[in-house]
Structure 1
Amino acid sequence: MSLLSLERVRARLDKAVVLDGIDLSVSAGEVVALCGPNGAGKSSAIRAAVGLLATTGGQIRLGGMLLADLSHRQRAERAAYLPQERRIAWNLPAVEVAALGGPFLSGVEALARAVAALDEVDAGHLADRGVAEMSGGERARVLLARALVVDAPLLLADEPIAGLDPDAQRLVLERLRARADSGSGVLVSLHDLTLAATVADRVVVMDRGEVVANAPPMQALAPDVLRRTFGLDGGWVEGPNGPLLAARRAQ
């Protein structure tokens, strides 16, 4: 079942074209990794998918329904969104920040889900600590927990592992993989191509607002794509825990 579909979607920021007729879909049970160099349009695609970036053409569907026909509540029930920005304005306890992911739940149920989500991301011990007193990595876990509290069929995460240590990166990706394995759909933007190849069922490569590859990881990140899009010479080797990228900057 398709949970998200972008069909020939176009968008601008000021005068710059950031999405140039892209096609993109996410189905239940799969992790789709969105990869590409800085400025490729990854964040724009994710923001457009949840209605946070106005489009100038094409169609977007959430759960089979046109995004434009859905109320804000219906959009929130169909898709959880984890942005890049980790700034939190108030020094609330982590459990209360996570509970904000359940605005349509009773207070008791939202807090119960928040406790469970914090445990899921190994942050249960932070439940009563103010988020302003946390490291960036700890806040990242709390914000992921907030997105998990939504319990929507689709989760969109924009660079959720940026700035995290390797253990935390793996934990976040394992949680996203687990969500997909339980039947949700996940769209996640990633810069680490090895991690993208490890966690994703499919990789969508973007460059200059266009989709240049959309296939299983090894096909989407083939040597010609690595050179043309990322400026890398290299290929993939099989490691003990999955594929590893062996590459250097193209000369």
Structure 2
Amino acid sequence: MSAAGLALDHVTLRLGGRVVLDDLSFDVRPGELLALVGPNGSGKTTALRTLTGALIPDAGRALIDGRPVAGLGRRGVAARIAHLPQGFRSHWNLTVRDLVRLGAARGAGWWQAGRPAAPDPALDLGELLDRRLDDLSGGERARAAVAWALAAPAGALLADEPAAALDIGHALSLMQLFEGLRGAMTVVVVLHDLGLALAHADRVAVLAKGRLLALDTSQAVLQNGAIEAAFGIRPIPAPVAAGAWPVAVRAGPETRGNPGDSL
């Protein structure tokens, strides 16, 4: 299956009477790695769920390869998009091996597609395959969940905070795995770690209060004020090598503490 193009087209969505997405539009190019960043409550998870058709907007539409998601049905969307939700849980206490087989049973997905790099080294699943999900740590379960998602036959992977429970080594390996999918699969990943987003994504979408503040390269979003506007901090980029973006931040007017402190 070829990489999918995704888009939200002037989407407004209310939940509990509150506007969560406010006339939000952005595109995801086929085969790119796009990071969604923004403060808590900015609409990142809601945007992902809207792209999958799980949430129906009050106005606007979600698109897959130019076709409205609403017209594809659940199976049609599942055939094109692998969705890894935040805090993934299985209904059954499976072994990791069986969890991945369950994902692969839906069709010949990433694991069988002959990609340049196998997922096992990046996800470090070797010693986990015969362990049951309830016996895993949060980080181990997160790695198993990514393997389950990648086993699905889809042109796009939407992953909501997949690195949240991972130690720094596994988080870096995961982002390198996503980078390895470039061209073959479209990846949209929600991240709270700005360093990971800036170092690995082709483009970064910055959201705040359900609106898009910027959608551009790492260098551009660091320079155009979007990070400062979204988070209330001033980023101080310090690129040290290709793919490395350690970022210090200076407290802004909306953050607590001494405005001169570095965080």
Same-fold call, TM cutoff 0.5: yes
Q: Is the 8 A contact 2:236 2:250 kept in 1?
A: no
Q: Is the 8 A contact 1:118 1:127 kept in 2?
A: no
For structure 1, which segment, 124-133 or 81-90, has the greater mean C-alpha deviation from structure 2 after superposition?
A: 81-90
In structure 2, the residue matched to 1:238 is 239
Name the TM-score, length of structure 1 as normaliser: 0.90
In structure 1, the residue matched to 2:69 is 67
For structure 1, which segment, 26-35 or 198-207, has the greater mean C-alpha deviation from structure 2 after superposition?
A: 26-35
In structure 2, the residue matched to 1:93 is 95
2:225 counterpart of 1:224: yes
Give, in whole Å, the separation in 2 of the partners of 1:38 and 1:190: 11
Q: Secondary structure at the match of 1:45?
A: helix
Give, in whole Å, the separation in 2 of the partners of 1:226 and 1:93: 41
Change (3 A) 1:186 1:204: same
Q: Secondary structure at the match of 1:247?
A: strand
Q: Secondary structure at the match of 1:73?
A: helix
Q: Secondary structure at the match of 1:92?
A: coil
**1:71-86 pair list within 5 angstroms:** 71-86=73-88
Give, in whole Å, the separation in 2 of the partners of 1:90 and 1:118: 23
2:193 counterpart of 1:168: no
User: AA paired with 2:233?
Assistant: L
Q: How far off is 1:98 after superposition?
A: 1.7
Q: How many residues end up aligned between the 2 structures?
A: 245
Q: How far off is 1:124 after superposition?
A: 2.6
Q: How far off is 1:73 after superposition?
A: 1.4
In structure 2, the residue matched to 1:187 is 188
Give, in whole Å, the separation in 1 of the partners of 2:167 and 2:106: 34
User: AA paired with 1:143?
Assistant: A
Q: Is the 8 A contact 1:94 1:131 kept in 2?
A: yes
Q: How far off is 1:59 after superposition?
A: 1.6
Change (3 A) 1:244 1:117: closer
Q: Is the 8 A contact 2:214 2:221 kept in 1?
A: yes
| Structure with the bigger percentage of strand | 1
Q: How far off is 1:24 after superposition?
A: 1.5
Give, in whole Å, the separation in 2 of the partners of 1:3 and 1:37: 26
Give, in whole Å, the separation in 2 of the partners of 1:44 and 1:77: 21
Q: How far off is 1:243 after superposition?
A: 2.4
For structure 1, which segment, 239-248 or 14-23, has the greater mean C-alpha deviation from structure 2 after superposition?
A: 239-248
Give, in whole Å, the separation in 2 of the partners of 1:103 and 1:53: 26
In structure 2, the residue matched to 1:200 is 201
Change (3 A) 1:209 1:193: same
In structure 2, the residue matched to 1:213 is 214
| Structure with the bigger percentage of helix | 1
Change (3 A) 1:78 1:25: same
User: AA paired with 2:15?
Assistant: L
Q: Secondary structure at the match of 1:186?
A: strand
Q: Is the 8 A contact 2:160 2:190 kept in 1?
A: yes
After the TM superposition, list the runs of 4 or more consecutive aligned residues in structure 1 that deviate by more than 4 angstroms.
Answer: 116-120
Q: Is the 8 A contact 1:9 1:19 kept in 2?
A: yes
Give, in whole Å, the separation in 2 of the partners of 1:70 and 1:93: 32
Give, in whole Å, the separation in 2 of the partners of 1:227 and 1:119: 36
User: AA paired with 1:237?
Assistant: A
Q: How far off is 1:74 after superposition?
A: 1.3
Q: How far off is 1:82 after superposition?
A: 0.6
Name the TM-score, length of structure 2 as normaliser: 0.86
Identity of aligned residues (%): 36
Q: Secondary structure at the match of 2:162?
A: coil
Give, in whole Å, the separation in 1 of the partners of 2:72 and 2:41: 29
Change (3 A) 1:198 1:157: same
**1:24-35 pair list within 5 angstroms:** 24-35=26-37
